[in-house]
Structure 1
Amino acid sequence: MISSMMPFAFEFTSPSDRLQIGLIAIRWYGLLIATAVIVGTILASRLAPKRGIKSELMEDLVIWLAVGAIPGARAYYVAFAWHEKFQFQPWYKVFAIWEGGIAIHGAIIGGAIAAILFARRNKVSFWKIADLVMPSLSLGQAIGRWGNFFNSEAFGSPTDLPWKLFIPPCSVREDGARVCFRPPDLENSPGYFHPTFLYESLWNLMVFGILMFIFNRFPKAKPGTLVTIYAIAYSTGRFWIEGLRTDSLMLGPLRMAQVVSLTCIALGILGLWWLYGRRGRFWDTVAINSENE
């Protein structure tokens, strides 16, 4: 629940990781991810005709993206969190995505591979459909981040700011399993942390607004423009927010999300320079003058 004592003073506390409806328990994490996919599909389908793409094509693309993005997001997370969270867990926990634990960068990699295959199969520009997906992606991230809130995960370092997230200490779930939410060195802390899920949700909403403005204001922008802008805008915020988190995926002493964010910012800037500085075009799945949308 969320309580406020003064303007801009909020204390967040997750009520539960499940929505109980009678005898049915629905995990908030899965429900929010499903909502993000549905909302994103509707948005991309409505935007598609404005770029000469059939709405039905974007609806078909969603299936391909799910097949590529969800396993990619989970595999990325498991790979970098293996020693900390999965090494001594039962093998099936690797697939327990409903308990949380996916990485957006893994989803983007898996989704991009699926989208390239889809574009080649349907003889359509990869960069055109990628541009159409970007607003849906940022909006979906804004929705999906609230799954971290209900799971009491992906929070930041301790804080005494007026807005803060309370993370409970270890507890025993209904199935008898003992779950610890805080890092071991912070188990005895007051329990208030930066609500980084909220920071990223709000940041993604801002990125969504920027992408929609550019989409509507510049209908003749070159294919790939929204992809590069998303890479710069999202990665800038993610780099800052990741520095606050206590559960970053690590590669040695490096926070992987920050390394990837810096790489994406550099590639995004380079891409914009290539498109508009050099007046070039990206490699694509179809010839520029022979697209068959």
Structure 2
Amino acid sequence: MTTLYIPSPSEGVWHIGLFPLRAYALCIIAGIIAAVWLAEKRWARRGGEPGRIQDIALWAVPFGIVGGRLYHVITDPELYFGAGGRPIEALYIWNGGLGIWGAITLGALGAWIGARRAGAPFGEVAAVLAPAIPLAQAIGRWGNWWNQELFGRPTQLPWGLQISPDKRPEGYESFATFHPTFLYESLWDLGVVGLVLWIEARFKITGGRLFAIYVMGYTAGRGWIEYLRIDTVNHVLGLRLNMWTSVIAFAAAAAYFALATRRPKASSTALEAAAADPVQ
């Protein structure tokens, strides 16, 4: 065992009377708060009415949480409905298991509904959320550290993550330190935040195209991080399902970006038109 390593928390739940306070939930909540704060700041700089993003978040956040859990359960049903599984635990989101792609898909639907109800241009909403979502992801990923989950292969690197014996998966019981994939993704997400903000300022890209840059940036990192992980997951053609999802999402975002960039200004979509005008 290496002499240098990142320790894992001894526990991630504290009981205040009968109420369990879970670190995983706190990380998710902190990420949401940070994302709404950043998006509100960006919305205000565009001349938007204060509080509008918070109103939209009231729709987007619940939709995103439901979508994230659905994606996790649908892609790993044997964890809950297989032999020895407990279907009721599919509802236990505090134990971890929120798939980002389900969260983004249903979260986007919730944001669209919220934007429609608030009378806000959805293109501008997508633009202000483009760096805010990876910020939320960067903070939320620390919930995996508290739960000692979703770590990578064994490693002797000095930043290896020490995992408790009872948390080590079958076949890896003799290893003590593993790649801290939660940390890799958290740092990558912060890099995506910076990338989106830099591209927005440097090239004046906004609307749906800016959101597409976030998707491409995130999926580029998620691919190699997913390759390191050893948690149980379904495979398709020899690759982890989440790797295929990342490839497809990257391709779709790149195609959208290319098509939207080539579209003549005169025939631009409502997303691009909203980005060109002051927010009402």
Instruction: Tell me which residue corresponds to 2:217.
Output: 233
Contact 1:124 1:291 in 2 (8 A): no
Distance in 2 between residues matched to 1:190 and 1:251, nearest whole Å: 24
Instruction: Tell me which residue corresponds to 1:75.
Output: 70
CA RMSD of aligned residues (A): 2.6
Instruction: Tell me which residue corresponds to 2:136.
Output: 140
Instruction: Tell me which residue corresponds to 2:169.
Output: 183
Distance in 2 between residues matched to 1:251 and 1:182, nearest whole Å: 21
1:202 aligns with 2:187: yes
Contact 1:248 1:257 in 2 (8 A): no
> What one-letter code is carried by the residue in structure 2 that aligns with 1:125?
P
Residue 93 of structure 1: CA displacement? 0.9
> What one-letter code is carried by the residue in structure 2 that aligns with 1:48?
W
1:113 aligns with 2:109: yes
Moved more, 230-239 or 37-46: 37-46
Instruction: Tell me which residue corresponds to 1:192.
Output: 177
> What one-letter code is carried by the residue in structure 2 that aligns with 1:73?
G
Contact 2:206 2:272 in 1 (8 A): no
Alpha-carbon distance change, 272 to 86 in structure 1, aligned in 2, over 3 angstroms: same
Residue 41 of structure 1: CA displacement? 1.1
Distance in 2 between residues matched to 1:97 and 1:55, nearest whole Å: 32
TM-score (norm 1): 0.84
Residue 215 of structure 1: CA displacement? 3.6
Residue 56 of structure 1: CA displacement? 1.6
Instruction: Tell me which residue corresponds to 1:56.
Output: 51
From 228, 248, 260, the counterpart of 1:244:
228
> What one-letter code is carried by the residue in structure 2 that aligns with 1:227?
F
Contact 1:242 1:248 in 2 (8 A): no
> What one-letter code is carried by the residue in structure 2 that aligns with 1:265?
F
The aligned runs of 1:1-293 (5 Å cut-off) are: 9-19=4-14, 25-87=20-82, 88-170=84-166, 181-187=167-173, 189-218=174-203, 220-247=204-231, 249-252=233-236, 253-279=238-264, 283-284=269-270, 293=280
**Higher fraction of strand:** 1
Q: How many residues align?
A: 275
Instruction: Tell me which residue corresponds to 1:173.
Output: none
**Higher fraction of helix:** 2
Distance in 2 between residues matched to 1:201 and 1:215, nearest whole Å: 21
**SS state at 1:120 partner:** helix
Contact 2:216 2:254 in 1 (8 A): yes
Q: Gapped runs of 5+ residues in structure 1?
A: 171-180
Distance in 2 between residues matched to 1:104 and 1:267, nearest whole Å: 16
TM-score (norm 2): 0.88
> What one-letter code is carried by the residue in structure 2 that aligns with 1:264?
A
> What one-letter code is carried by the residue in structure 2 that aligns with 1:195?
P
